[in-house]
Structure 1
């Protein structure tokens, strides 16, 4: 029963926020006020607030209370593995920074993992498994690659096509939480796919991209 009470309390507080009853930067009711209003234990209120904080709806200010956070601007993203994420973000006017945090050789592929930071905020992890046989210098050049598509173009591949794409949802590991600066309850949108050279049909890479689910709105082809 206690779990249900926490869920109801969470829902009540979320309605206050999403309905606009309490505006961004506005102060939420104190724990004492909610205990009196809803007749629930203080622990129930506290746990509901902890959920709201972990999901990014409110923040605590020591000695002052809890306040509604301003909604972050949603990034519009067309989900396609055949286009450059870098080009899409720069064309939309964002300040994009890419950090390579893993570059290693596999048996048939070269794995590159990059953190995408948009306007100072980490929002995605891109991992590319590049076909080693097509890029003989990849072991030397791989750790410096921030835009994989730009690298392919420098190697003579100019037009690309997509293989089958799979969209799924997962929650971040401890390492992903740290890199993306998010809590364990923030969903990640995972896009798995592949990219081929449109001319020859050769497989250039397999990709796994993790997008923060609270930072994007997504567009899909019909």
Structure 2
């Protein structure tokens, strides 16, 4: 950092040095614009530019209304297992919280009727919630559940347990289907995840069966910069999964 540098570059260098020396560890909060203005005696515009460029260069994540945080390597969730996101987050030593957006009982539209393998539309439960890791949104869960299989689903306190944990404890799961796609976020998803319109998302579509019937149809939406999907399994010599 030299006096010849523009002020915003001096602020950037200071923060990058702290990140690389681990004084600011992954996931830790970076000083706000107001704090940078006070500490460096700079304008708010200069502080904003420094944080914008650090975000664009991948050093930090800015979450509207929450703060700016040192970027962590993307968390991972398995495609081969039915994992509880709360346990994944806690295993990383972080805090899981969930915000319920809405819960309702609806009549299944044609695509959902087909997904549940029903001949006619039927009443289904719908739950939408946002999972957070250390206060930062990492997943939108849109889940539909067959009331005949889990009649008490909507009455559960999902601020203390996750839908996955409840369903696994309630019903045996004998088959899973996963489909993954990349998608740009809708305005509503941008708002719930605290991301911009240019941030791509990973979308995991999941169906699960119990005793031959579809119990739940879920869509899990992750900001691509905060999460990765992976699988690992043993194979035969010709590359086929081992049974």
What's the TM-score once normalised by structure 1's chain length? 0.64
Contact 1:112–1:143, Cα closer than 8 Å, also in 2: no
Q: Give CA-to-partner distance per residue, 1:132-156, whole Å, 9 cap, x none.
A: 111223344477674113322553x
Matches of 1:24 and 1:160, distance apart in 2: 51
**Out of 211, 214, 217, which is 2:228 matched to?**
217
The structure 1 segments of at least 4 consecutive aligned residues displaced by more than 6 Å after TM superposition are 142-145
Give the superposed CA RMSD.
2.9
Flag the 1:122–1:152 CA change in 2: closer, same or farther, 3 A: same
1:121 aligns to 2:132 (yes or no): no
**Out of 25, 29, 37, which is 2:15 matched to?**
25
Matches of 2:231 and 2:169, distance apart in 1: 29
In the other structure, the counterpart of 1:207 is: 218
Matches of 1:88 and 1:144, distance apart in 2: 16
Q: What SS does the aligned partner of 1:166 have?
A: strand
Matches of 2:180 and 2:224, distance apart in 1: 12
Matches of 1:78 and 1:181, distance apart in 2: 24
In the other structure, the counterpart of 1:68 is: 54
**Residues 1-222 of structure 1: pairs in structure 2 closer than 5 A:** 25=15, 61-63=44-46, 65-66=49-50, 67-69=53-55, 70-71=59-60, 72-74=71-73, 75-80=75-80, 82-107=82-107, 108-141=123-156, 146-155=161-170, 157=171, 159-197=172-210, 200-222=211-233
Structure 1 gap segments, 5+ residues each = 1-21, 27-59
| 1:87 CA drift (Å) | 2.1
Flag the 1:193–1:139 CA change in 2: closer, same or farther, 3 A: closer
Q: Give CA-to-partner distance per residue, 1:28-51, whole Å, 9 cap, x none.
A: xxxxxxxxxxxxxxxxxxxxxxxx
Matches of 1:164 and 1:135, distance apart in 2: 19
Q: What SS does the aligned partner of 2:15 have?
A: coil
Q: What SS does the aligned partner of 2:199 have?
A: coil
